[in-house]
Structure 1
Amino acid sequence: MSATDEIIDVVDEDDRVIGRAPRGEAYARGLIHRCAFILVRDAEDRIFVHRRTPTKLVYPSLYDMFVGGVVGAGESYDEAALREAEEELGVSGLPRPEPLFRFLHDSEGVAGKWWSAVYEVRCTLPVRPQTEEVAWHTFLSEEELTHRLGDWEWVPDGRAAYERLLTYRATGGPGL
């Protein structure tokens, strides 16, 4: 099955499930759906950064500081966060990602809106990123990542999530 045929939950503005649709249809019709974003840190506290493959349905070939993806039909955010992190990093036995916050992202016509659940996890395992998802990767310190924010073209939803994460940390938690 292709990614466009994957069945996902369609939700409303309050993140309540109101139906299901193939991912491609949800994108084309601008239906609200769910995604999980996982910030991955290594043993040295560096952040996993990657460039998406050119075959991605949304934001191909752009840089991202999160791994993750669309939450499947009937799947919880927590289940999707662990599944997506392990798949994209090419690992198994990852600790359960810690949920931080959620926000509604508007792609401004690219693929509708999606509820974005942001997580964080530490990965001390050797990574073997999924070649279908990750064209290039490295681990960067927060300082290096901050420097690259102005140099590289980043996925808009990941950048929005990262900016909210910085605010979340600065304010000590929710209130986004």
Structure 2
Amino acid sequence: MLLGLAAIGCTRAIVATSVPVEDDPSIRFPEFFEQAPLEVGDAGPPLLLEGVVLQALTLAADDFLPEGRAELPCADRQASHVFRVIQRGEIIFVRIDEDPAACGRAHPGLDSGARYAISRDGRILRRVLDGMEPYTAPVDAGPFEKAEPGVSPSFDPRRPAPQPFLGPSDAGTPDAQAP
């Protein structure tokens, strides 16, 4: 029963997809927010969208936010999201983000988006849900010592543990060591 309750809270993360995901970690996603996007619906020239780009966009949307369930909550509807598309050679990159204004909110949910890399032939090469990408330490984070899991590399059981600081007492209590 407990497992069932936990699954209810994570329905988006465990929805089965009919399209297999290859999950190629060598694929690097472009920066989706480096420049302002050209928005469909703005006054201006028509936007030309190739069929394979539309196919990739539809594939990502249906994988991340499957339609067809009765009475979906607002935040789980495709219409409550914004989609960014970048094509680089044979790969179409899709970024999906929740649009909080569509549901009458000011802020999106935590980890509510996803990134997709889709081939021109319709294969999902990589899918990364927000908050699910493994953490990698920054390059300038300094040297690290390797250790077995659960073991501090600087801990030596043969040496005594460092003594706590024995400075002035807190809460206004007179310090017995003060001159």
Choose between structure 1 and 2: higher helix proportion.
1
Choose between structure 1 and 2: higher strand proportion.
1
Using the size of structure 2 for normalisation, the TM-score is 0.23
Using the size of structure 1 for normalisation, the TM-score is 0.24
CA radius of gyration, larger in: 2
Taking CA–CA contacts closer than 8 Å with sequence separation of 6 or more, which of the two structures ends up with the larger relative contact order?
A: 1
